[in-house]
Structure 1
Amino acid sequence: MIVLGLETSCDETAAAVVDDSGLILSEVVLSQFEEHRPYGGVVPEIAARSHLDHIDRLVDEAMTRAGLSYDALDAVAATAGPGLIGGVIVGVMTAKAIAAVHGKPFLAVNHLEGHALTARLTDKVAFPYLLLLVSGGHCQILAVEGVGRYRRLGTTIDDAAGEAFDKVAKMLGLGYPGGPAVQAAAERGDARRFPFPRPMKGRPGCDFSFSGLKTSVRQMVETLPPGPLSEQDKADLAAGFQAAVVDSIADRVKRALAGFRGTAFVVAGGVAANSALREKLQALAAQAGLPFVAPPLRLCTDNAAMIAWAGIERLKAGESDPLDFRPRPRWPLDPDAPKSTGAGAVKA
């Protein structure tokens, strides 16, 4: 079983061909970092136009690298939400066209499900497992019980962690993307200099909050002498902010692990690339007696291999979608979970 996957939900245009053994036959990713860097964040209109300019070429390149004709495909999958709707439409319409022309099933994949099932692509993790999905647009803890079966234990009540990293990086003049920039600065800083709060720490439940932490960073900057921040100020602020994020996430995860019975603790999403966070989460998994699974960094960020694999999982279950499927800017994995701004929210 071989599936072509497309990913266009935010600022990466990606195509990949994957088979049901978990072999990634080809993978092509085009980042838009340089296009959005002047703005310090993703501009939806620029992102959508870039996807439209490059998607056809990247699909052709993925198929060429895989050494396959379209007739060899068993299906075509695309991220159909949640995400920036202009980009999502580009990927969905491209996948529908390929499926229609070549008579293949079309699979509308939830972007969050792509992240949720990546551990099964890379590590063959058995259900059920606990997932921390932490990225630029999403911050959730989910019990992954099966394909299409997700129970949300916690979500952000305001901003996602990755969004907070981007905005703090912009505040400190560290550049874009914010996650790597803050981590690099934090390595030179003293996390003890600025005592930032740990949002939600010690509270019942597993929800997250990062908006107040961002405000605390801004207020701390305003207490410093007027004028440009010194490099040491930036490093110390970044270190203090990063430590607060790690501690806050760890507290929420620890609560979720305490009541969970499953096969593994999995972390996915772009913020999972943060080395300080990974180290803390690995220790928590060990304390809980669960294997810690983190996909390779290139598969933690947005990619098409995870979309192709999610398509394979759904195709094995006998599922496919009609060609009139409508892309969704919001699409929670657990529709029965209490409503929150963080539940399948539009990526920022």
Structure 2
Amino acid sequence: MPEPVRPPERPVLGIETSCDETACAVYDGERGLLAHRLHSQIRLHAEYGGVVPELASRDHVARIHELVRQVLAESGVPAAELGGVAYTAGPGLIGALMVGASVAAGLATALDLPLIPVHHMEAHLLAPMLEERRPTFPFVALLVSGGHTLLVAVRGVGDYELLGESLDDAVGEAFDKTAKLLGLPYPGGPELARLAEAGNGSRFKFPRPMTDRPGLDFSFSGLKTAVLTTLPQAPEAADRADLAASFQEAVTDTLAIKCRRALDATGYTQLVVAGGVGANLRLREKLGALAQQQGFELFFPRQAFCTDNGAMIAYAGWARRAQGRATHAGPLFTTPRWPLAELRPPVAA
């Protein structure tokens, strides 16, 4: 059965359920973001010190329908006037992904709308397009989250070249593991950043991994080990703050060095930083200073759109729909693993 056709300028509903946030949004190409809602599961998982997949899936089921109703009401867009339904197809927790995919497929079928599977990391790197000040293609994107650390040359929607990635822990994972070593509560990354604000970042000398050799790949597991071996030197609360600040300095220095190399290698003059760690204030400060020094333009999504959200899914779905067909053919598609390099530009309808 051929895909039903709707004018691409019609708004797109986006649904995000890849991990521990349930989120929905409506995006319109002319009017921008019309509404967005998010429910965080942080309190649900805090007791366990991390995300419990089964609990995440059940909570998505409990929340998703009401969030969809809310964003449609707030946007003023009747469901029948949507141009498509976008959902996070991967990567992510498969049970969580299936909740959003099932709801999206049901809506699309009932309303005879296109169903648009969205790559989670593509949505992150396009998130700055939701802002008034936005980048133009091409640009370098640094994607930094709990599960990913990537440097990507972005030439257009779906036209990506992987420049570098973490060979072990993602940067967000390194933050979380280090926070756990320091006895900080879940979620560890933001707690470590808060503790670091009170510390001396030059006290402990941690390595800037893989910056003493060519290339754009990352490695952060050794930093966690360095923190572990340094812990006996930090028995007091003030010492722990210094340790947290020193760790954060090592991470943000490493990211800044690699970003500069990526810009030099590509010749691009714009850098996009997205993903949960993109909310880190020290990283923003350090890259801002580097941008002034080196003369490139720097773009971040607003803080609320650094972490997982429905707005970025709605925008990515709209962009895919406006420029061509959906990412994958077929009525429903989800996958827990989906390399960004497998994406291709939309094919004209």
Q: TM-score, normalised by structure 1?
A: 0.91
How far 1:272 moved relative to its partner? 0.8
Name the structure 2 match of 1:103.
112
Q: Distance between the aligned counterparts of 2:230 and 2:47, measured in 1?
A: 25
1:196/1:216 contact within 8 Å kept: yes
Unpaired segments ≥5 residues, structure 2: 1-9, 344-349
3-state DSSP of counterpart to 2:340: coil
How far 1:48 moved relative to its partner? 1.4
1:202/1:251 contact within 8 Å kept: no
Number of equivalenced pairs? 332
Q: Distance between the aligned counterparts of 1:250 and 1:330, measured in 2?
A: 27
2:38/2:309 contact within 8 Å kept: yes
Counterpart residue identity of residue 137, structure 1: G
Q: Distance between the aligned counterparts of 2:80 and 2:332, measured in 1?
A: 23
3-state DSSP of counterpart to 1:334: helix
Q: Against the structure 1 CA distance between its residues 22 and 194, is the aligned structure 2 distance closer, same or farther, given a 3 Å change threshold?
A: farther
Q: Distance between the aligned counterparts of 1:293 and 1:72, measured in 2?
A: 32
Name the structure 2 match of 1:84.
93
CA offsets per residue over residues 272-321 of structure 1, 9 Å max, x none? 11111111112222333221111111111111111111111111112124
Q: Distance between the aligned counterparts of 1:46 and 1:197, measured in 2?
A: 38
How far 1:253 moved relative to its partner? 1.1
Q: Distance between the aligned counterparts of 1:283 and 1:77, measured in 2?
A: 37
3-state DSSP of counterpart to 2:309: coil
Name the structure 1 match of 2:265.
259
| Deviates further, 190-199 or 161-170 | 190-199
1:197 aligns with 2:204: no
Q: Which of 123, 132, 141 is equivalent to 1:131?
A: 141
Q: Which of 219, 225, 228 is equivalent to 2:229?
A: 219
How far 1:160 moved relative to its partner? 0.7
Q: Against the structure 1 CA distance between its residues 203 and 184, is the aligned structure 2 distance closer, same or farther, given a 3 Å change threshold?
A: same
Q: Distance between the aligned counterparts of 1:126 and 1:326, measured in 2?
A: 30
Q: Distance between the aligned counterparts of 2:93 and 2:270, measured in 1?
A: 31
Summarize the alignment of residues 234-245 of structure 1 with structure 2, pairs less than 5 Å apart: 234-245=240-251
Name the structure 1 match of 2:289.
283
Name the structure 1 match of 2:339.
332
Q: Which runs of structure 1 show a deviation greater than 4 angstroms over 4 or more consecutive aligned residues?
A: none
Q: Distance between the aligned counterparts of 1:180 and 1:212, measured in 2?
A: 20
Q: Which of 197, 206, 222 is equivalent to 2:216?
A: 206
Counterpart residue identity of residue 52, structure 2: V
The CA RMSD over aligned residues, in Å, is 1.6
2:134/2:299 contact within 8 Å kept: no
Q: Distance between the aligned counterparts of 2:272 and 2:146, measured in 1?
A: 18
Q: Distance between the aligned counterparts of 1:68 and 1:21, measured in 2?
A: 14
Summarize the alignment of residues 1-348 of structure 1 with structure 2, pairs less than 5 Å apart: 1-21=10-30, 23-122=32-131, 123-221=133-231, 223-224=232-233, 229-320=235-326, 321-335=328-342
Name the structure 2 match of 1:339.
none
How far 1:84 moved relative to its partner? 1.2
| Deviates further, 166-175 or 90-99 | 166-175
CA offsets per residue over residues 183-226 of structure 1, 9 Å max, x none? 111111122322222111122111111111111111212x348x
Counterpart residue identity of residue 328, structure 1: T
3-state DSSP of counterpart to 1:115: helix
3-state DSSP of counterpart to 1:307: helix
Counterpart residue identity of residue 324, structure 1: P
Unpaired segments ≥5 residues, structure 1: 337-348
3-state DSSP of counterpart to 1:145: strand
Q: Distance between the aligned counterparts of 2:106 and 2:252, measured in 1?
A: 43
Q: Distance between the aligned counterparts of 1:251 and 1:264, measured in 2?
A: 15
Counterpart residue identity of residue 257, structure 1: L
Q: Distance between the aligned counterparts of 2:267 and 2:246, measured in 1?
A: 33
Q: Distance between the aligned counterparts of 2:166 and 2:256, measured in 1?
A: 14
Counterpart residue identity of residue 55, structure 1: I
Name the structure 2 match of 1:340.
none
Q: TM-score, normalised by structure 2?
A: 0.91
Q: Distance between the aligned counterparts of 1:57 and 1:335, measured in 2?
A: 34
Counterpart residue identity of residue 240, structure 1: S
Q: Distance between the aligned counterparts of 1:48 and 1:76, measured in 2?
A: 20
Name the structure 1 match of 2:7.
none
> Identity, % of aligned pairs?
50
2:263/2:269 contact within 8 Å kept: no
